[in-house]
Amino acid sequence: MSKAYWVSCYREVIDADKLAAYAKLAGPAIEAGGGRFLARAPAAQAYEAGVRERLVIIEFDSVEQAVATHASPAYRAALAALDGGAVRDLRIVPGV
């Protein structure tokens, strides 16, 4: 079984307070689901259609584990706290 990666590219932070409330809940929810944070920062450089906003990469042991974490009640509470506070593109991709 290959690893999976949760990649979240923030296009725009609209409300920093909502993002902080989300992060306070999301981190523990993701770690409880088996996620390991590999990167959490603004991009050092962005090319093509990229923007230099926040980027988060989280490793999971499987796609199923990543999907289950996203669907968990704890992560859903984090999403409710975010409530339009950021525009982002979140993808779960299998490792190679």
Contact 85, 18 (CB under 8 A): yes
Q: How far apart are CA 45 and CA 3, in angstroms?
A: 26
CATH of the domain at 89: 3.30.70.100
Q: How far apart are CA 15 and CA 9, in angstroms?
A: 16
State how many domains the chain has.
Answer: 1
3-state secondary structure at position 5: strand
Please report the pLDDT score of residue 50 as a whole number.
85
Percent of the chain with pLDDT over 70: 100
Q: Each residue of 27-57: pLDDT tens digit?
A: 999 999 999 999 999 989 999 988 889 999 9
Contact 66, 56 (CB under 8 A): no
Segment 58-63 mean pLDDT = 98
Q: Which domain holds residue 49?
A: 4-94
- Confidence bin at 95 (pLDDT 50/70/90): very high
